């Protein structure tokens, strides 16, 4: 009699333990970007981990005191006690305050909302944002949050430094299957974005919203991005070049700041910015 083992069960035993660890980290990473908590179904969708496995991982990490699930909303979030372990990147250090100041200055210069993102696996993680002085007609979302890279100017900006075939392999598994041709169109726009030093998108993430982004280059590699976002009636083909230049200048300031912070205090959270798991 031959016994069979389901994929979910197999990952818990033998060499499948590495797979379970990988899935646990994916689940934990997604949860950590939702400070108000995330439901099981949404967690399953964003992490790509089966619902039964997500549930087991949550239960285990709750027992270890790393996660908390609200009894009423059924949303799971990172526990306060574990924030110091996995949330060091988002603490209010001097480096973060300096980045916030750069974003504030950029908002004042552009008149728009600005932000600081990173690429993690095949997601854009919005780490920080600063509300612009002309916030009208925009929906301001909480941070941190995750977004698909093909719907953001930061995704276009950061991926423009990768080989197109690598970008295709990275995005195809999660890209909407009903419209694959638009993935090729997105990839075709990457080279101009790198040439210009900034990327821009109209009506992708939200119909009436546009954004401009420039990469934060550390060691000649784009680790993060600075963006400017606003309504399409203000961010237009006539204004995008000026906004792109502002984003480039702010990104260069941020790169110098992060590089200097890592050199002066290599054991501080500032170094956490430059040592994130972003593989090129």
Quick one: what percent of the chain has pLDDT higher than 90? 42
- Could you tell me if residue 280 is inside a domain? no
Render pLDDT for 74-123 as a digit per residue (tens, 0 to 9): 999 877 545 444 444 444 456 777 888 899 999 999 999 999 999 887 88
Q: Which of the listed residues 36, 56, 85 is the one where a domain comes to its end?
A: 85
94/79 same-domain check: no
Phi-psi region at 88: left, alpha or beta (left = phi > 0; alpha = psi -120 to 50): alpha
| Nearest CA-CA partner of 199 in 255, 136, 157 | 157
63 pLDDT tier (thresholds 50, 70, 90): confident
| Nearest CA-CA partner of 112 in 249, 237, 239 | 239
Task: Answer yes or no: are the C-beta atoms of 100 and 131 closer than 8 Å.
Answer: no
For the chain, the average pLDDT equals: 80
Q: Which of the listed residues 70, 85, 100 is the one where a domain comes to its end?
A: 85
233/192 same-domain check: yes
139 pLDDT tier (thresholds 50, 70, 90): low
pLDDT given at position 18: 56
- For residues 172 and 263, the model is more confident at 172
Quick one: what percent of the chain has pLDDT higher than 70? 78
263 pLDDT tier (thresholds 50, 70, 90): low
Q: Which of the listed residues 68, 85, 102 is the one where a domain comes to its end?
A: 85
Supply 152's token pair.
């953001």
131/213 same-domain check: yes
| Nearest CA-CA partner of 89 in 219, 268, 263 | 268
3-state secondary structure the chain: CCCCCCHHHHCCCCCHHHHHHHHHHHHHHHHHCCCCCECHHHHHHHHCCCHHHHHHHHHHHHHCCCEEECCCCCCEEECHHHHHHHCHHHCCCHHHHHHHHHHHHHHHHHCCEEEEEEEECCEEEEEEEECCCCCCCCCCCCCCEEECHHHCHHHHHHHCCCCHHHHHHHHCCCCCCCCCHHHHHHHHCHHHHHHHCCEEEECCCCCCEEEEEEEEEECCEEEEEEEEEEECCCCCCCCHHHHHHHHHHHHHHHHHHHHHHHHHCCCCHHHHHHCCCCCC
165/80 same-domain check: no
pLDDT given at position 91: 43
259 pLDDT tier (thresholds 50, 70, 90): confident
Q: How many domains does the chain have?
A: 2
Decide if pLDDT at 54 tops 90. Answer: yes
103/149 same-domain check: yes
80/94 same-domain check: no
Distant-in-sequence contacts of 22-28, Cβ < 8 A, 24+ apart: 23/47, 23/49, 23/53, 23/57, 24/57, 24/60, 24/61, 26/121, 27/54, 27/57, 27/58, 28/57, 28/61, 28/66, 28/86
Render pLDDT for 172-227 as a digit per residue (tens, 0 to 9): 988 988 877 889 999 999 999 999 999 999 888 788 899 999 999 988 889 899 99
Give phi and psi for 16, each to the nearest 5: -70, -10
Q: What distances in angstroms separate CA 117 from CA 23, 101, 143, 147, 183, one per listed residue?
A: 23, 15, 10, 10, 21
79/111 same-domain check: no
235/193 same-domain check: yes
State which residues form the domain around 39.
7-85
């Amino acid at each position: 009699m031959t016994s069979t083992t389901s994929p979910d069960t197999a990952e818990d035993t033998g060499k499948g333990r590495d797979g379970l660890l990988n899935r646990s980290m994916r689940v934990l990473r997604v949860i950590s970007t939702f400070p108000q908590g995330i439901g099981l179904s949404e967690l399953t969708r964003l992490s790509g981990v089966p619902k039964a496995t997500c549930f087991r991982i949550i239960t285990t990490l709750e027992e270890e005191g790393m996660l908390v699930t609200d009894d009423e909303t059924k949303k799971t979030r990172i526990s306060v006690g574990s924030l110091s372990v996995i949330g060091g990147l988002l603490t209010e250090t001097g480096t973060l305050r300096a980045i916030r100041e750069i974003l504030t200055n950029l908002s004042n210069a552009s008149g728009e909302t600005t932000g600081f993102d990173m690429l993690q696996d095949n997601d854009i993680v919005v780490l920080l944002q600063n509300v612009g002085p002309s916030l009208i007609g925009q929906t301001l979302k909480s941070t941190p949050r995750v977004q698909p890279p093909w719907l953001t100017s930061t995704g276009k900006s950061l991926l423009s430094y990768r080989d197109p075939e690598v970008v295709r392999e990275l995005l195809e598994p999660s890209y909407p299957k009903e419209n694959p041709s638009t993935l090729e169109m997105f990839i075709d726009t990457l080279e101009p974005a790198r040439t210009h030093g900034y990327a821009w998108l109209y009506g992708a993430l939200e119909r009436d919203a546009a954004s401009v982004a420039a990469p934060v280059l550390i060691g000649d590699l784009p680790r993060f991005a600075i963006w400017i976002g606003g309504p399409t009636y203000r961010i237009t083909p006539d204004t995008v070049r000026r906004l792109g230049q502002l984003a480039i200048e702010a990104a260069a300031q941020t790169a110098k700041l992060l590089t200097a912070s890592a050199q002066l205090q290599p054991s501080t959270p500032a170094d956490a910015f430059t040592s994130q798991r972003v593989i090129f």
